[in-house]
């Protein structure tokens, strides 16, 4: 299977969101939310785009506190975390004011009920005006709506949708080392609609093709494997 990043419609929408944030005047909020069900490639896209735009990327964890969050941001800014939380906050503000780097906070669900952490991120945004993007699961938009001061600052919101047939075709065309018929792709779309599932299926079909010297995965082969 080829190792390449696939630009599905969701990915293109994410890129559009970033470009819109970067184009906003200085006096407008530059916060955004990307959310959707698991398995649609949100985290992979966020990490890939963080590299493309030289951004600060933080992946939250279940045990993360506000102090820990600030320390991780400081490290991403290539500074040494200080003992005092206030010093770390000031380091974040100072560096982000100067660099105007995009800050991407992935798995924001873990902090959605932590008012102090959420408000700290809002404070960093307000003091630096740097673009800040939250990435989370399907219901995180509802959880974050409780933080009214924060939610009102989301000038861009993108929901990752389930893959269309065109998306699945794009994934197959870019990743698969064996050809798939149009009917086989439609069957794959019917059976699987998560990136991991599609990638695993492609790997399975490639193994079958090698073992049987198939040059194309047809609808008949797809039915036998998927149904």
144-180 confidence digits (pLDDT tens): 988 888 888 999 999 999 999 999 999 999 999 999 9
Residue 53 belongs to a domain: yes
- Which pLDDT does position 202 carry in this prediction? 93
Residue 200 has φ and ψ, to the nearest 5°, of: -65, -40
- On whether both 141 and 174 belong to a single domain, the answer is no
- pLDDT score recorded for residue 51: 96
Q: 19 and 45: one domain?
A: yes
> Are 82 and 13 in the same domain?
yes
156 and 177 belong to one structural domain: no
Q: What pLDDT score was predicted for residue 223?
A: 87
pLDDT at res. 39: 87
Residues 171 and 59 grouped into a single domain: no
Domain assignment present for residue 192? The answer is: yes
Alpha-carbon distance of 114 to 133, in angstroms, equals 17
Q: Kindly state whether residues 79 and 170 are assigned to the same domain.
A: no
Half-sphere exposure at residue 38, Cβ-oriented, CA atoms within 13 angstroms: 4
State which of 136, 160, 184 marks the end of a domain.
Answer: 160
For residues 194-214, give the mean pLDDT.
Answer: 90
Tens of pLDDT, residue by residue over 53-92, are 999 999 999 999 999 999 999 999 999 999 999 999 999 9
- How far is the CA of 118 from the CAs of 41, 148, 158, in angstroms? 24, 11, 19
Please indicate, yes or no, whether residues 150 and 219 belong to a single structural domain of this protein.
Answer: no
Q: Per-residue pLDDT tens for 9-63?
A: 999 999 999 999 999 998 899 999 999 998 899 999 999 999 999 999 999 999 9
Region 95-102: mean pLDDT is 96
Rounded-to-5 percentages of helix, strand, coil across the chain = 55, 15, 30
CATH code at position 69 = 3.40.50.300
Give the pLDDT score at 27.
86
Residue 42 covered by a domain: yes
**128 and 180 housed in the same domain:** no
Q: 227 pLDDT exceeds 80?
A: no
Q: Which two tokens stand for residue 104?
A: 């991407």
Task: State the residue for tokens 């064996």.
Answer: 178
User: Do residues 194 and 131 share a domain?
Assistant: no
Domain end position, chosen among 125, 143, 160: 160
Nearest to 17 by CA among 36, 37, 39: 36
Give the number of domains in the chain: 2
At residue 94, the pLDDT reads: 97
Q: Which domain holds residue 211?
A: 165-226
101 has pLDDT over 80: yes
Let me know if residue 58 belongs to a domain.
Answer: yes
Average pLDDT, the chain: 93
pLDDT score for 193: 86
**Among all chains, which residue has been given the structure tokens 């408000």?**
119
């Amino acid at each position: 299977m080829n190792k390449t990043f696939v630009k599905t419609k969701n990915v293109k929408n994410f890129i559009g969101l970033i470009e819109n944030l970067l184009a906003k005047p200085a006096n407008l909020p530059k916060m955004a939310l990307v959310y959707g069900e698991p398995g649609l490639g949100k985290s992979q896209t966020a990490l890939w785009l963080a590299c493309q735009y030289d951004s600060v990327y933080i992946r939250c964890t279940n045990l993360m506190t506000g102090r820990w969050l600030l320390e991780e941001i400081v490290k991403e800014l290539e500074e040494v975390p200080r003992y005092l939380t206030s010093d770390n906050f000031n380091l974040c503000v100072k560096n982000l004011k100067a660099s105007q780097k995009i800050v991407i906070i992935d798995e924001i669900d873990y902090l959605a009920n932590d008012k102090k952490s959420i408000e700290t991120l809002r404070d960093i945004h307000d003091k630096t005006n740097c673009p800040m993007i939250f990435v989370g699961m399907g219901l995180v938009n509802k959880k974050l709506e409780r933080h009214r001061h924060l939610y009102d600052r989301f000038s861009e919101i993108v929901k990752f949708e389930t893959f269309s047939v065109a998306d699945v075709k794009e994934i197959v065309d870019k990743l698969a080392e064996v050809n798939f018929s149009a009917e086989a792709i439609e069957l794959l779309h019917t059976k699987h609609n998560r990136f991991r599932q599609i990638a695993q299926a492609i790997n399975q079909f490639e193994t079958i093709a090698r073992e049987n010297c198939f040059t194309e995965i047809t609808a008949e082969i797809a039915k036998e494997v998927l149904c």
